[in-house]
Amino acid sequence: MDFTGKKVIVTGATRGIGYATAEAFLRAGARVAVNGRSQASVDAAMATLGSNTVSAPGDISKADVCQAMVTDAVEALGGLNVLVTNAGVFFRGSIEETDEAAWDYVLDANLKGLFFCSRAALPALKASKGNIVHVASESGLNGYAETTAYCASKGAVVNLTRSMAIELAPDVRVNCVCPGAVETDMARAGFAIDGDEEAGLDRQRSQYPVGRIGTPEEVAKAILYLASDDAGFINAAALPMEGGATAGG
């Protein structure tokens, strides 16, 4: 896929799926604004991502930070073709353990931040006839115990994708990816069994029809496809990429 000269913002690009996505866009010729919570984490990622990047630090769980971060990034890039709203957090706990702080922690990053980054990017995306790819989750398609706030946030992203796509057509396409477990820091910590991260990942691997979990690079490739002109007729899609886990069985 060719993104030569295209301008892209990736939120949460300092590690995991976001980092792999930034890397893939750069390899395809794009210029990428790298968002992460802190300047230090953004600087560290940019040191290995290379020179075709611009710095876009900011905690996207706050609406005013989303607005400022996106406005500055669009100015630094000189426009915008693609917004990837990838930044997100995970919380595992029973419903009783999900207090207001945990709820706000998850929903503010995974849903509110995603919405307000999108909203801030609209003038530039409408001007370029660009598109948005949200990173939802398999947890937005299925319900799972002990991750109620996370599942609620990702389910909301799936339907927000449809709603935004209808409102913004034909100017701006909006799609989302719904990955199953992907080998990143989030999955290692989030699925650990009594602190044993490898045991947690093994249990995840055994639960997927394909006998493994995903890689950040696989998710990045799907994001690039949805963002590309090749996917010009794809709008409002929620792409499951979970080895068939949500298909039934």
Ligand X SMILES: NC(=O)c1ccc[n+]([C@@H]2O[C@H](COP(=O)([O-])OP(=O)(O)OC[C@H]3O[C@@H](n4cnc5c(N)ncnc54)[C@H](O)[C@@H]3O)[C@@H](O)[C@H]2O)c1
| Candidate residues 80, 135, 222, 223; the one interacting with ligand X per rule CB under 6 A | 135
Using rule CB under 6 A, residue 21 touches ligand X: no
| Candidate residues 17, 124, 176, 236; the one interacting with ligand X per rule CB under 6 A | 17
Please choose, out of 29-37, 73-81, 93-101, 220-228, the segment that lies near ligand X by the rule CB under 6 A: 29-37
Using rule CB under 6 A, residue 181 touches ligand X: yes
Six token digits for residue 50: 């290379």
Residue matched to tokens 């706030």: 149
Using rule CB under 6 A, residue 16 touches ligand X: yes
Using rule CB under 6 A, residue 200 touches ligand X: no
Using rule CB under 6 A, residue 130 touches ligand X: no
> CB of residue 153 vs ligand X: minimum separation in angstroms?
8
Using rule CB under 6 A, residue 241 touches ligand X: no
Using rule CB under 6 A, residue 185 touches ligand X: yes
DSSP string spanning 95-163? TTT--HHHHHHHHIIIIIHHHHHHHHHHHHHHHHT-EEEEE--GGGTS--TTBHHHHHHHHHHHHHHHH
Q: With CB under 6 A, what is the number of residues at the site for ligand X?
A: 29
| Candidate residues 1, 127, 186, 192; the one interacting with ligand X per rule CB under 6 A | 186
Q: How far is residue 176 from each of residues 12, 164, 182, 220, measured CA to CA in Å? A: 16, 11, 16, 12
Contact between 45 and 151 (Cβ < 8 Å):
no
Q: Helix-strand-coil percent breakdown of the chain, rounded to 5?
A: 50, 15, 35
Q: Of 159, 177, 155, which Cα lies nearest the Cα of 167?
A: 159
Q: By CB under 6 A, what part of segment 83-122 binds ligand X?
A: 86-89, 109, 113
Using rule CB under 6 A, residue 217 touches ligand X: no
- Site residues (CB under 6 A) for ligand X? 11-12, 14-18, 35-37, 41, 59-61, 86-89, 109, 113, 135, 137, 179, 181-182, 184-187
